[in-house]
Amino acid sequence: MSKINHIEQITSWKRVLNAARRTNGKKVLDKEPSDSWKAKMLLAEHSPIRLLEFDWTWSSIKQWVTAHIVRHHEGCEKFVHSQRGDRRAILEEYGVDTRDKLPQGALNDMDMTANAQALINISRKRLCNCASKETREAWIQVKNAIAEIDPVMASKMVPECLYRGFCPEFISPCGYSKTEKYQNDLKTLFNINAEIFPYQDGSIYDTNSKNLYKYSKQIQILNNPNDIVIVPQKALFEKFPDKFFFKEHSINIKINDDMDVQELAKKLVTLGYKRKTLVADVGEFSIRGDIIDIFSLSDFPFRIELWGDSVTDIRKFDNSNQRSISKVKEVSIQPIYKFVLPEEEDYFDEDCYVFKVENGKVKQIECIKTKIENKDEK
C-alpha cells in the first residue's frame, strides 16, 4: 500500500491574507489570519487561495493509480518516477526485460505539488465513494497528512456530494448522501444545520403514516426547517397537512390549565392516538390516575401531572426508562391523522351523488347522504 513519505506547506496563509488585502487596497499585515477567515476563503474559493501550496511524495504507489492522479492539471505539478530499466532496477524486481511488460500494478514513487484550489477540485473526484478504491485511499493519505499541518485546509477537502450539497452520481450512487453521517458532515463543512428529510412509501389517501417515527421527524422539519434540508425526490410527492390544520387541531396544554381527562382521551382518539398501559411509541397515550403520558410528533413523550382538574407539572421523559429529562411550561399535542373529520354527526350538509359510468353511459346514480342515513337506521 502507498504511503506519504514527505509533506510540507510551501507557502503560508500570511501570503494569502496579504494578497487578499492588496486586492482590496488595504495594508499588508505581518500575521497569520484566523481559522474562521481561512475557512471562509476556502469555501468562497477566492483566487488568493491559489497562493497556498503543498508538496509531498508518495512511495509504493501503483502505476495505474498515478495515471488517475496525473489527469488533474490545474494548479498542480506531478512527477512520476521513471520506469526505465537503465536507470532503475525495477525491471529486475518484476522479472521482465522491458518496461512494456511491467504490470499496471507495479509499485512506483511520485512527487506532487498542488495549491489549495487544486486540492479542493481533486478531492471532489478522488474522495467520492464511486472513485476507484486504491486512488481514493491514496488521496485520503494526502488529506490526512495535510490535516496534521493545516486542519482547516483538510476540512474543506471533501467529495462532490458534500461540495454540491447533493449526490450527482446517477449510475450507481453509494447512498452516502442519504445517511446521518452525510448530514453531520455537511454541518461540519459549512458550519450550518443540515438534515435529511425522511421518505416513506404510502398512498396519498392514507389517514396516517405507516412509520410514525418518520412522520414525526417529517413534521418537525416542516415546522422548523434547518439551514439546509436534503429531500429525496420521491418525498416531494408525499402529501402533508398544512400549518393551519395543525393550528386548528392541536391540543395546547399549559401549567395551571383546567383539564377534563375523559374529554382529553376522546380528543386524542379523534386525532389518531391509541391508548396504552405504558407509552412506548409515537401516537400513544396512557392515563394512570392523575398522570397522563402522551407521545406526540416529537423526539420524546410528555408526562402531565394533575392536582384535581388542574395541570401542575409537565415534563419531557425518556420512554425507554421512564426517567424525566426536563420540565416545560407548555406542550402542543399534534394530530397523528393527516386529516380529521368534523365532530358533527352529519358529514354532508347537502346531498352528494356518485355516478357509475360504463362504456360512456351512466348506469347508476347513488346518493351518499341517503345511503349513510339508511345504514344508520339499520
Residue 260: band (very low, low, confident or very high) from pLDDT cuts 50, 70, 90: very high
Average pLDDT over residues 351-364: 57
Please provide residue 232's backbone torsions phi and psi, each rounded to the nearest 5 degrees: -60, 150
Average pLDDT over residues 140-144: 97
Fold of the domain spanning 243-333: Penicillin-binding protein 1b fold (3.30.2060)
Q: What pLDDT score was predicted for residue 94?
A: 84
Average pLDDT over residues 213-220: 86
**Do 10 and 52 touch, CB atoms closer than 8 A?**
no
- What CA–CA distance (Å, rounded) separates 230 from 183? 8
Residue type, 24: N
SS3 track for 168-220: CCCCCCCCHHHCHHHHHHHHHHHCCCEEECCCCCCCCCCCCCCCHHHHHHHHH
Give 232 or 356, the one with higher predicted confidence. Answer: 232
Residue 63: band (very low, low, confident or very high) from pLDDT cuts 50, 70, 90: very high
Integer angstrom CA distances of residue 124 from 93, 162, 163, 164:
35, 8, 7, 9
Count the Cβ atoms, other than its own, within 10 Å of residue 301: 24
69-93: pLDDT as tens digits: 999 999 999 999 988 877 777 888 8
- Is CATH 3.30.1230.10 what the domain over 3-157 is classified as, yes or no? no
Beta bridge partners of 326: 316
- Of the given ranges (47-56, 61-70, 182-191, 204-213), which has the lowest mean pLDDT? 204-213
pTM value? 0.60
What is the percent of the chain with per-residue pLDDT over 90, rounded to a whole number?
54
Q: What pLDDT score was predicted for residue 345?
A: 47
For the chain, which residues make up each domain, given as ranges?
3-157, 173-240, 243-333, 344-378
Give 58 or 202, the one with higher predicted confidence. Answer: 58
232-246: pLDDT as tens digits: 777 777 888 888 888
Q: What pLDDT score was predicted for residue 348?
A: 46
Average pLDDT over residues 257-263: 93
